[in-house]
Amino acid sequence: MIKADKPVDEALRLQTLHEYKVLDTLTEREFDDLTKIASFICQTPVALITLIGEDRQWHKSRIGTDIQQVPRDLAFCSHTILSDETMIVTDFTKDVRFHDHPLVTEGPCARFYAGAPLITPSGMRIGSLCVLDFAPRDLNPDQIEALESLARQVVVLLEMRLSLTRLEESRLAAIEATNEANRAVKIKTEFLANISHEIRTPMNGIIGMTQVMLDGNVQPEDRGRVEIIRDCGRTLLSLINDILDFSKLESGNVEFESQPFDLHAAARGTIELFKPLAAQKNLDIELSIDPEMPSWYAGDVTRVTQVLTNLLSNAIKFTSSGKIEVTIDSLIESLSSEHHLVHVTVKDSGIGIPVELQDRLFLSFSQVDASITRRFGGTGLGLAICRSLCENMGGR
């Protein structure tokens, strides 16, 4: 018996084989079907799909034998993978390589073999589709061509199997990444909720006590300092609220109500709250509502006023003189007969935003100019929160 040499590209061949992740897998009907067809076409009792590993020949599919694997040194297919051509041995007893082979001299005594190599798209020969018989014989050209065609189909199945395996791995990795991200968001949200509560409680106390002092007999020389403490506390509380709101929106933990509310009254009430702040900067706030608009709508009045509050807060912050105009009207475009788009515009005479920077307006933790942050402060979350709230309520 003559042992087969190893291919010159053996290391790469083995790497390619292992990439298919098919060794030691369960039987699969698609492969068994090809083996049965090969046995039928070649009229042989035995047909195998073999894969040549480092030290063994393993059978992905087998017809007519119970042998799952054999040592590589005893594998007929170890010779087949040395060439791209189909290897045919009409009579093992007359072939110097196999005449004293244990499978030829013992047991069922194999006599005939034909194997078409399994050639991958990269040119690696990883095994074969082979047929065996216990009597000397040969294949005609049509049978050889059919065997080679079936061998190519085995490789196609292996490629499809590999693609499906990779897709499944990607899917599972994506699920795990999503779960991990959700866990991280949940932890972050819980942390922010806890820490904001711990900060809000004393901060509200500080703001409340400073207001009590300002309403009392605070000394004139101390009033300015107390007002600074109160205003800083309010600013810090506003920042905490923004961060917590954004975190909840980002994690999808905000619930939206749908209750009847008077949009006109909600808008007027929100503007009234801002008039004292605007008056400190000599700013006028004007409200214009389309008289043809209905007054009552179903939605989340708290979130609607939150959006308007953020827009008004920005307008006052970045406007040093002039006025702020709030316009509310209906868009011609409607979502349905029962759902309408309301158009809210807040226009100010402030510092403005360059056209080339406007695409950053709704990015979280972003302001269009670093100097703005230094001058006016803020988290850069206000408009991002507005956008998320609007989108969650079906707007934009």
CATH of the domain at 305: 3.30.565.10
Tokens 């053996």 -> residue: 10
* Contact by Cβ (8 Å): 348, 324: yes
Q: Is residue 1 part of a domain?
A: no
When comparing pLDDT for 133 and 213, which is higher? 133
Please check whether residue 225 lies inside any domain of the structure.
no
The predicted pLDDT at position 351 comes to 74
Give pLDDT, residue 99.
Answer: 92
pLDDT at res. 338 = 65
Confirm if 360 and 366 have CB atoms less than 8 A apart. yes
Residue 60 lies in a domain: yes
Residue 361 — very low, low, confident or very high, per pLDDT cuts 50/70/90?
low
Count of the separate structural domains present in the chain:
2
Residue 158 sits at the vertex; the CA angle it makes with 152 and 161, to the nearest 5 degrees, is 145
Based on the fold, state whether residues 143 and 278 are members of the same structural domain.
Answer: no
Low-confidence winner among 206-215, 290-299, 324-333 (lowest mean pLDDT): 324-333
Most confident of 141-145, 166-170, 178-182, 191-195: 141-145
Residue 283 lies in a domain: yes
| Higher per-residue pLDDT: 364 or 82 | 82
The per-residue pLDDT for 234 is 77
CA distance 280 to 309: 17
Instruction: With respect to residue 234, please indicate whether it lies within any of the assigned structural domains.
Output: no
- Provide long-range contacts, Cβ within 8 A and 24+ apart, for 71-74: 73/3, 74/101, 74/102, 74/103
* Whether residue 366 has pLDDT greater than 60: no
* CA angle (35 as vertex; 80, 100 as ends), nearest 5: 40
Q: Average pLDDT in the 80-106 region?
A: 95
Condensed to tens digits (0 to 9), the pLDDT of residues 165-174 reads: 999 999 999 9
What was the pLDDT predicted at 92? 95
Q: Is residue 207 in some structural domain?
A: no
Alpha-carbon torsion (326, 328, 333, 336), positive or negative: positive
3-state secondary structure at position 68: coil
- 298's tokens: 């179903």
Residues 261 and 119 in one domain: no
Bigger pLDDT: 104 vs 377: 104
Q: Say whether 3 sits in a helix, a strand or coil.
A: coil
Six-digit token string for 145: 């061509």
Are residues 162 and 259 located together in one domain of the fold?
no
SS3 category, 249: helix
Whether 47 and 149 map to the same domain: the answer is yes
Query: Shortest CA distance to 342 belongs to which of 381, 285, 281, 301?
Result: 301
- Give the Å distances, CA to CA, from 19 to 13, 23, 166, 215: 10, 10, 10, 77
**Same domain as 157, residue 291:** no
Indicate the pLDDT class of residue 311, thresholds 50, 70 and 90: confident
Lowest mean pLDDT among 42-56, 67-81, 88-102, 292-306: 292-306
Query: Is the separation of the CB atoms in 49 and 35 below 8 Å?
Result: yes
Cβ proximity of 230 and 207 under 8 Å: yes
Comparing CA positions, the residue from 302, 196, 191 lying closest to residue 240 is 196
Residue 171, CB half-sphere, CA atoms under 13 Å: how many?
6
Tell whether 235 is covered by a domain: no
| Residue 336: per-residue pLDDT | 58
Q: By three-state DSSP, how is residue 35 classified?
A: helix
Which of the residue ranges 27-41, 82-96, 154-168, 317-331 would you say has the lowest mean pLDDT? 317-331
pLDDT at residue 104 tops 60: yes
pLDDT digits (tens, 9 = 90+) for 9-59: 999 999 999 999 999 999 999 999 999 999 999 999 999 999 999 999 999
15 and 161 in a common domain: yes
Residue type, 198: E
The whole-chain average pLDDT of the chain stands at 86
Q: With bands split at pLDDT 50, 70 and 90, how would you rate the model's confidence at 161? A: very high
Residues 154 and 264 in one domain: no
| pLDDT at residue 369, rounded to an integer | 53
Q: Is the pLDDT of residue 390 over 70?
A: yes
Which tokens hold the place of 82?
């040395």
| Same domain for 141 and 22 | yes
Given this model, what pLDDT does residue 332 score? 61
**Domain range enclosing 159:** 10-166
The predicted structure's pLDDT at residue 374: 45
Q: Which pLDDT does position 108 carry in this prediction?
A: 80
pLDDT higher at 198 or 332:
198
Mean pLDDT within 207-233: 85
Residue that is last in its domain, among 142, 166, 190: 166
Distance CA 200, CA 195 (A): 8
Q: Which among 243, 233, 239, 247 is positioned nearest to 378, based on CA atoms? A: 239
Do 153 and 268 fall into the same domain? no
pLDDT of residue 376: 47
CATH of the domain at 134: 3.30.450.40
pLDDT of residue 373: 46
Q: Read out DSSP for 104-145?
A: HHSTT---EEEEEEEE-TTS-EEEEEEEEESS-----HHHHH
**Residues 6+ positions from 230 with CB-CB distance below 8 Å:** 206, 207, 210, 211, 214
CA pair distance 269, 109, nearest whole angstrom: 98
The length of the chain is 396
Domain-ending residue, one of 166, 184, 202: 166
Which of 166, 191, 208 is at the close of a domain? 166
Report the alpha-carbon distance of residue 21 to residue 168 in Å, rounded.
13
| Span 246-259, average pLDDT | 74
Beta bridge partners of 49: 61, 129
Instruction: Indicate whether 211 pLDDT > 70.
Output: yes
Instruction: Note whether 147 and 34 are same-domain residues.
Output: yes
Residue 333 lies in a domain: yes
Q: Which range is least confidently modeled, 121-125, 164-168, 348-352?
A: 348-352
Tell me the β-bridge partners of 285. 324
CA 226, CA 213: separation in Å to the nearest integer?
8
Tens-digit pLDDT profile for residues 231-247: 788 777 777 777 777 76
Report the 10 Å Cβ neighbour count for 132: 24
